[in-house]
Structure 1
Amino acid sequence: MQPTAISGEPTLRKLSPMSRRPISTRTFNASSMTTSRGALPHELHRSMRSGRSLTGPLLSRLGSAAQSGQAMYIVSMLAKISCAGLTQSFPQQGQSINLWTAGKYFSFSRKTHCGRPKRSERFVNRNDIRTAKVVLDMAQRGIREYDAKRMLAKYLPDYLKDFSYRGEIALVSPDTDLDRLAAESSWLKDKKLVVKPDQLFGKRGKLGLVLLDATWDEAQAYLKENMGSEVVVGGVAGKLTHFLVEPFVPHREEFYVAISSDYDGDNIYFSSEGGICVEEKWDKVVQVRVDVLEGIDRIDLHSNLPSSLGDRLIIVESFIQALYRFYVDLGFAYLEINPFTFDDGSIVPLDLVAKLDDAEVYWQSKKWNGLVFPEPFGRTMSKEELFIKEMDSKTGASLKLTILNPKGKVWTMVAGGGASVIYADTICDLGHAGELANYGEYSGDPNTEETYLYCKTILDLMTREKDPEGKVLMIGGAIANFTDVAKTFKGIVMALKEYQDILRDAGVKIYVRRGGPNYEVGLKLMRELGEMLGVPIEVYGPETHMTRIVPLALGGGE
């Protein structure tokens, strides 16, 4: 497939304001180019740094089309990338190299004789652009204040040696033994306490859900009274099931700091008048822009902070700089501390909201170890979702399922977390977001039985109600590294055979695209199955672009 270089103004796409993913593309003319697809060498993308010079031999590891002699390139955009859905585009004449990834990209520009990079040229393959940009909000995952504060206590001292917050904090759920908790955390009985819900919703103080300056006995009584009670937050009703308990810090001053990301950089917000009324005093909030090409070291943060901080200005400046590095290095997509205060000269975070970019899960496997992403407040998991979640907890594979629209006509069964996001994004970009029924993945080499049960669950859900136009099931994925495609497809075949009459009656059409170990055997099983069941099944291998089956299934053709 020959990509096309396009001229014109940026193409804007609606995006969550907190996402790091690009929403605009500017392209320029180029004579010709070729493409290759594959994974970046591990040692290369682990060592990417803005401004680093790369030689031709190093770039040649990206694929034959990247070989460009001894020309020098510089990295002009800093990002960590996932290999999922990677599209690499290279101009034959070596003017620039662009690596489009799942929502993030590096741009390489050739150095001129004077040492300055040429203006970067970005080339867009019209058929691949939807795959390359992943803009679904589901990639941003909220975490509990409890987990965010533990991460802050553990890792921020690596960036700010004077940060002395110890992270004395406890999480209480319906299963928590309060006597045992107090025995393990002696500070609960020694200090006055704060108790508040920790379930991904804000305005807890305004809602009267925060207990302040309490003894342990008072905290226990509050927990017993409110655990399991139903409240309405922003029009959403839900039960209180998790509470955070931490030491009460008497204070008079409240400061606000937040960091968010958008398509080409990050924003730092600060106010010396933080607290529950910060939104009403937004004119007091200072915003500092951190361009993705610059980083925090090249920002004059000092002059942007209010002089009213006095002697604390340097302390706050150092704290924000360290917090920003912590934010970037640990894969955050949003971080807000409102408020923080000073206690004996040390900064103490009192209230915190955080979201992580779950596309960073590979990079952060050690630092995020054991981290749980809770469901949004008020969302109750269905019986089928709970079943898959229980299966996931008992296997070394990864099995995930979220029902978006049980009456939807477009269903997916995608191998791999990155691929699942790309498929969902492609479906949405083609105008079928309202028809997308589910989101999930099966990966990590699940065995035949696990795949059978996973597929059976999806088939049961999608055939409960008929659609006059019929329904579509896409069984897709990238090229597997170690998952045995034939083994997993055996489980899928078992489930499809069991539901063959129901599938025919519901007018289901199935589209398959897969590659990887033993994929030939797996695809052969699927082709033979279609003939036997009388159910339309179109089967494609790795020679077909990963998301090619999406427009085919949705009637979009080319």
Structure 2
Amino acid sequence: MARKKITEYKTKVLLYRQLREDYYGLSFNTLHNSINKLRSQLSKNITYVVKVDQGIKKRLKSGLMRVKVTNEDVIKFIQDKKNQYYSFIIEPYLDYPKDNERYLSLNLEENGINVLFSSRGGVDVEQNSTGVHKLIYDEKNNDDISKKLKVPASRLESMMKVFKENNFCFLECNPYIVKDSKIIFLDAACEVDDTAVLNLPSGSWQEDDFVYGQNILKTEEENIVTKLSQSSLSSFNLSVLNPNGSIGLLLSGGGASLVIADEFYNLGMGGQLVNYGEYSGNPSRQETIIYTKAVFSLLLKSKSSKKIMVIGGGVANFTDILATFTGIIDGMKGRIDDIKKQKIMFFVRRGGPNQEAGLAMIKSFFDESQIPNQVSGPQLSISQFVENIVWEIK
């Protein structure tokens, strides 16, 4: 059995259908749907909740959800996010007392369906873990569980039927509320057994309902780096985070690159990162040129008014710093005018074989090209290195 996430929209369609209740949500997929068609489906007279629908948790805290917005706000949110995400759910906004929020999750385990529930749901349910109760579902204790959940027994039976017939492995409703004996699922997450796709009831989920946490459409730069990594003995990866961010990352070494990225998030600047990625394994000069061009292309495309390129890493064991910096410089030479026009500042921190010669060479290149820069070796801690960048960008 392989668990896969399906859309919140499909999850709710299946739940409400079994409960025989109307559902007024909309699904929008940028790969298949037209913005103009969506606009025609939205009303000017009501407000909405719009969310990225790709199995991502804590969307409100991550800026992937807007609440109580107009129809035009919905369109703008999708247009702003479409380069990073492709699946969205739109629902009419419902006003309700926050203390009515409840939590429920069902998880298929060896000994049955594990039920977790709490009378206090919402985004901070994890902070109220002492109020979360756990038990194993059995048809014989359906009435008892429904009383604890404060939902009608028939409704709980219907939810369990959806869970079993559609081969759910996991279902989380957080929060849900009960109004006039009806369950209203404000947020839902679901995982299914993908091996059951050929043995499902009519109208159930299909492979098209599977979702992934990031955009499956890669940028040109990401595709270039993927092909580069596939054909090389060295390692390369590149993922776009915020295409209009202020900070580009050209990092070496998996461990140090993660530390540098984490430092930006710890200082509240994670949202300004254009990309994450790293190169390692002593790449050749030509490979470094290709990777550098891809990263620079992303930063140059950003619409941010202030830009910084970070060339960083820890202390390499065998990667030749002079050789890789030569490749980085060669990768920049064709974009010097663009770099100067956009007033990009460079921060460099690196250590390893030939570090003195490599650092001196890249420092000389920046100075001669009249590009603002700060170049340092491993004597400068990573935390201080990142703090200097954050101070400059602010």
User: Per chain length, whose mean CA-contact separation is higher, i.e. which structure has more relative contact order (CA < 8 Å, sep 6+)?
Assistant: 2
1:149-193 CA deviation, whole Å, 9 max, x = no partner?
Answer: xxxxxxxxxxxxxxxxxxxxxxxxxxxxxxxxxxxxxxxxxxxxx
Q: Provide closer, same or farther for how the CA distance between residues 229 and 410 of structure 1 changes in structure 2, counting only shifts above 3 A.
A: closer
Letter in 1 for 2:274: A
**Map of 2:290 onto structure 1:** 453
Gaps of 5+ in 1: 1-144, 149-197, 210-227, 240-252, 285-335, 340-349, 354-373
Q: What secondary structure sits across from 2:346 in the alignment?
A: strand
- Distance, in Å, in 1 between the alignment partners of 2:52 and 2:330 is 43
Contact 1:255–1:270 (Cα < 8 Å) also in 2 = no
Contact 1:397–1:443 (Cα < 8 Å) also in 2 = yes
Contact 1:256–1:337 (Cα < 8 Å) also in 2 = no
Please report how far the alpha carbon of residue 453 of structure 1 lies from its aligned counterpart in structure 2 after TM superposition.
1.0
Q: Provide closer, same or farther for how the CA distance between residues 455 and 274 of structure 1 changes in structure 2, counting only shifts above 3 A.
A: farther
**Map of 2:391 onto structure 1:** 555
**Map of 1:539 onto structure 2:** 375
Please report how far the alpha carbon of residue 274 of structure 1 lies from its aligned counterpart in structure 2 after TM superposition.
8.3
Please report how far the alpha carbon of residue 526 of structure 1 lies from its aligned counterpart in structure 2 after TM superposition.
0.6
**Map of 1:416 onto structure 2:** 253
Q: What secondary structure sits across from 2:267 in the alignment?
A: helix
Q: What secondary structure sits across from 1:534 in the alignment?
A: coil
Q: What secondary structure sits across from 1:501 in the alignment?
A: helix
Letter in 1 for 2:272: E
Please report how far the alpha carbon of residue 377 of structure 1 lies from its aligned counterpart in structure 2 after TM superposition.
6.0
Q: What secondary structure sits across from 1:380 in the alignment?
A: coil
TM alignment of 1:470-481, pairs within 5 A? 470-481=306-317
1:454-513 CA deviation, whole Å, 9 max, x = no partner?
Answer: 111121221235544x31111111111222222211110101222111111110110100
Q: Provide closer, same or farther for how the CA distance between residues 352 and 274 of structure 1 changes in structure 2, counting only shifts above 3 A.
A: farther
- TM-score after normalising by structure 2: 0.52
Q: What secondary structure sits across from 2:277 in the alignment?
A: strand
- Percent of pairs identical after alignment? 28
Q: Provide closer, same or farther for how the CA distance between residues 472 and 273 of structure 1 changes in structure 2, counting only shifts above 3 A.
A: same
- Distance, in Å, in 2 between the alignment partners of 1:483 and 1:200 is 42
Q: Provide closer, same or farther for how the CA distance between residues 426 and 273 of structure 1 changes in structure 2, counting only shifts above 3 A.
A: same
**Map of 1:387 onto structure 2:** 224
Please report how far the alpha carbon of residue 199 of structure 1 lies from its aligned counterpart in structure 2 after TM superposition.
5.2
Q: What secondary structure sits across from 2:278 in the alignment?
A: strand
Q: Provide closer, same or farther for how the CA distance between residues 235 and 283 of structure 1 changes in structure 2, counting only shifts above 3 A.
A: farther
- Distance, in Å, in 2 between the alignment partners of 1:467 and 1:202 is 33
- Distance, in Å, in 1 between the alignment partners of 2:146 and 2:369 is 65
Q: What secondary structure sits across from 1:442 in the alignment?
A: strand
CA RMSD of aligned residues (A): 4.3
Q: Provide closer, same or farther for how the CA distance between residues 518 and 464 of structure 1 changes in structure 2, counting only shifts above 3 A.
A: same
Pair 1:271-2:135 in alignment: yes
Report the number of matched residues: 244
Q: Provide closer, same or farther for how the CA distance between residues 433 and 414 of structure 1 changes in structure 2, counting only shifts above 3 A.
A: same
Q: Provide closer, same or farther for how the CA distance between residues 378 and 438 of structure 1 changes in structure 2, counting only shifts above 3 A.
A: closer
1:420-465 CA deviation, whole Å, 9 max, x = no partner?
Answer: 2221221222232332211111112222112111111121221235
- TM-score after normalising by structure 1: 0.38
Please report how far the alpha carbon of residue 537 of structure 1 lies from its aligned counterpart in structure 2 after TM superposition.
2.2
Letter in 1 for 2:225: I
- Distance, in Å, in 2 between the alignment partners of 1:487 and 1:480 is 13
**Map of 2:365 onto structure 1:** 529
Pair 1:406-2:253 in alignment: no
More helix by share: 2
Choose from 274, 278, 298 the match for 1:437. Answer: 274
Contact 1:405–1:437 (Cα < 8 Å) also in 2 = yes
- Distance, in Å, in 1 between the alignment partners of 2:147 and 2:358 is 58
Q: Provide closer, same or farther for how the CA distance between residues 204 and 416 of structure 1 changes in structure 2, counting only shifts above 3 A.
A: farther
TM alignment of 1:88-487, pairs within 5 A? 146=2, 198=4, 201=7, 206-208=12-14, 236=53, 254-256=112-114, 271-273=135-137, 337-338=169-170, 351=192, 375-376=212-213, 379-465=216-302, 467-468=304-305, 470-487=306-323
1:509-549 CA deviation, whole Å, 9 max, x = no partner?
Answer: 10100011222222122112112211112211121112422
Q: What secondary structure sits across from 1:476 in the alignment?
A: strand
- Distance, in Å, in 1 between the alignment partners of 2:267 and 2:373 is 21
Q: What secondary structure sits across from 1:548 in the alignment?
A: helix
1:8-47 CA deviation, whole Å, 9 max, x = no partner?
Answer: xxxxxxxxxxxxxxxxxxxxxxxxxxxxxxxxxxxxxxxx
Letter in 2 for 1:256: N
Contact 1:510–1:538 (Cα < 8 Å) also in 2 = yes
- Distance, in Å, in 1 between the alignment partners of 2:242 and 2:138 is 39
Contact 1:514–1:540 (Cα < 8 Å) also in 2 = yes
Please report how far the alpha carbon of residue 273 of structure 1 lies from its aligned counterpart in structure 2 after TM superposition.
2.1
Q: Provide closer, same or farther for how the CA distance between residues 269 and 544 of structure 1 changes in structure 2, counting only shifts above 3 A.
A: farther
Please report how far the alpha carbon of residue 553 of structure 1 lies from its aligned counterpart in structure 2 after TM superposition.
2.1
- Distance, in Å, in 1 between the alignment partners of 2:327 and 2:147 is 56
Q: What secondary structure sits across from 2:236 in the alignment?
A: strand
Q: What secondary structure sits across from 1:555 in the alignment?
A: helix
- Distance, in Å, in 2 between the alignment partners of 1:392 and 1:519 is 25
Pair 1:509-2:345 in alignment: yes
Contact 1:412–1:438 (Cα < 8 Å) also in 2 = yes
Q: Provide closer, same or farther for how the CA distance between residues 441 and 235 of structure 1 changes in structure 2, counting only shifts above 3 A.
A: closer
